[in-house]
A and B are shown apart, each in its own frame.
Chain A
Amino acid sequence: MNIYKHEFKSYLKSVGIWSVSIFLIILIYLSAISSISADIQTLNEVLASFPEEFLIAFGMTDMDFSSILGMYGLAFLFCQICLAIQASNYGFSLVSIEERELTADFLLAKPIGRGKILTAKLLAAIASLTITNLVVWVSSFLVINMLNDGQPYETKSLILLLLSIVVFQMFFLAVGVLISLLMKRVRSVTPLSMALAFGMYVISAFGSMLGEDTIEVISPFKHFEPNFIIKNAAYDMPLALISVITILVAIPASYLLYSKRNIHTAV
């Protein structure tokens, strides 16, 4: 419990910064898009008369800005990028920070098992991610209602979209922990978390511009694509399961690796 409290406290500042920036992203993106939605809608009407292949070839599918949710889809994608980087930051630094800052011998000399340490640390990280998650919920409803002038919209798809955040965050947290434990030494976290989070985004963004699915099935950005969820008010189940299974594999594997890990110390 002490570890949990200590860890949680150390996350607070970072959670605050991320939450504020995500709120700003939702606010700025949605207001920017809705201010030009009229222009885009006329463009959409022209585009609608074009054959499908043409639109795919020019990357102009899925640009539905006729409803507030269609606009929200784009804003949410950028939220996802931030959430992914935050979660993988926490994941990569979760246990590696102790070795980097030479506090591992202090922590591991405490009269508790390594499993318990990892549990406490994971729970603290999850609690911090959940706070950010709640901020996304609140700010989404707030901004959408503010810009929508009381017109009705599909609450179900919005809620489904927001519910996906939990799995999305857990994916990057779990994969981050696992990779950091597979490495002998993690020197700095930012390059790794950028590579994981942004890499997944680039794979998915570039891939979906060009028809058929190949490599992008590994990316959570593809598993929980905002446009798909909004359009169908459902998850792409087989793809979403890939995320869930990855989490279910990565967490036990991390426990296993951590319980056997060789800890490098200063002396």
Chain B
Amino acid sequence: MRIYLWELKANYKSLLIYCGISLFFMTVGFAKFSAYAENPELLAILDSMPSAMLDAFSMNAFNLTTVTGFFGVMYVFIGLILSIAAVIWGSDIISKEERDKTIEFSLTLPIKRSTLITAKTAAVLTNCIVLALVTWGLVLVNTARYNPDAEFYSFVFLGMVSLFITQCIFLAVGVFLGSAMKKHKNSGSVAVSLLLGTYFISVIAGLNEDFEFLKYYTPFKYFDPAALLHESKIDLPFVWLSLGIIAVSMVGAYLTYSKRDLYI
């Protein structure tokens, strides 16, 4: 418990910075949205389109004149911000002890190594939850003046839940890399390149149906905002896949860290 509180305190600055980034992004984003909201010209064009045509483009079919559609577009970017924070926090919380040469101190405390990991993971998980909640709050605050309907709120709820799952995947992978990488200096860059790689894959996967099989390899594609909106449910197989990745990474982290050779 001490370690948990200590880590929370050590990380609050970073948490504040990411909340600031999120605030900045929301402000800029919704300032742009105000130009599109209920734009009569755009609505007239949309009305003149045959509805079959709109359905055909459902993959892109977020109507930007409504807050719901706008959130659907922002979803990917919010996901990026949250996952970057998670993967960096996850790998850093383990590897920083060796970098700052405090590892000897921590490991001579009368606790098991596994307890250390549990406490540290709990601390960064708390950070992730706070960041996700703040982001959620910011979305609601920024959209309140457009009087969104109930459908919007349930969409945002589903969206944030799936973003939180994505966040947890990256967090667990980060913790695993921090524990398992032999050279503590590399864990951060490997974690980040993993994030970049999966993001790049997600872009390719979105280009065409031929590349859809790629979506199993990138957490950014596990939850499709369009499906969240139109079917208002989260794809269960992907939830299980995510939980699987999280469980494997965490077990891996405990196993490798309990045998880790320290760099002092």
Contacts and interface: CB of A to CB of B under 8 A. Distances in A.
Same complex origin of A and B: yes
Interface of A: 21, 25, 28-29, 32-33, 35-36, 39-40, 51, 53-54, 57-60, 78, 81-82, 85, 89, 100, 187-191, 194-195, 198-199, 202-203, 205-207, 209-212, 214-215
Interface in B211-236: 211
Contacts of A25: 200
Contact of A53 (B41, B62, B191): B41
Given A187-B96, A191-B88, A209-B73, A57 B42 contact: yes
A206 B29 contact: yes
Given A188-B99, A194-B84, A57 B64 contact: yes
A60 B60 contact: yes
Contacts of B31: 214
Contact of B188 (A58, A188, A207, A212): A188
Nearest to A53: B42
Taking chain B's interface residues, is the majority helix, strand, or loop, or is none over half, making it mixed?
Answer: helix
Given A25-B200, A190-B189, A195-B21, A58 B14 contact: no
A82 B196 contact: yes
Given A25-B200, A195-B84, A212-B32, 17 more contacts: A28-B204, A32-B204, A32-B207, A36-B210, A40-B207, A53-B45, A58-B60, A58-B61, A60-B60, A187-B96, A190-B88, A190-B189, A190-B191, A190-B192, A207-B28, A209-B73, A210-B33
7 shortest A-B CB distances, which residue pairs?
A190-B188, A36-B208, A210-B32, A57-B64, A191-B88, A58-B60, A215-B28
Interface in B107-148: none
Interface of B: 14, 21, 25, 28-29, 31-33, 35-36, 41-42, 45-46, 49, 57, 60-65, 73-74, 77, 80-81, 84, 88, 92, 96, 99-100, 188-189, 191-193, 196, 200, 203-204, 207-208, 210-211
16 contacts: A25-B200, A29-B204, A32-B204, A40-B208, A53-B41, A53-B42, A78-B203, A85-B196, A190-B88, A190-B191, A191-B14, A194-B84, A206-B25, A209-B73, A211-B35, A214-B28
Chain A interface helix/strand/loop/mixed: helix
Contacts of A206: 25, 28-29, 74, 77
Contact of A58 (B64, B84, B200, B204): B64
B185 to A, nearest CB: 9
A206 B33 CA distance: 11
A181 B204 CA distance: 38
A189 B95 CA distance: 13
Given A35-B210, A188-B99, A194-B192, A207 B32 contact: yes
A48 B210 CA distance: 23
B88 A194 contact: yes
Contacts of A28: 204
Given A188-B99, A191-B88, A58 B62 contact: yes
B88 A202 contact: no
Contacts of A59: 60, 73
Contacts of B21: 195, 199
Contacts of B64: 57-58, 210
B131 to A, nearest CB: 14
A51 B45 contact: yes
Contact of B200 (A53, A78, A215): A78
A199 B81 CA distance: 9
Nearest to A193: B192
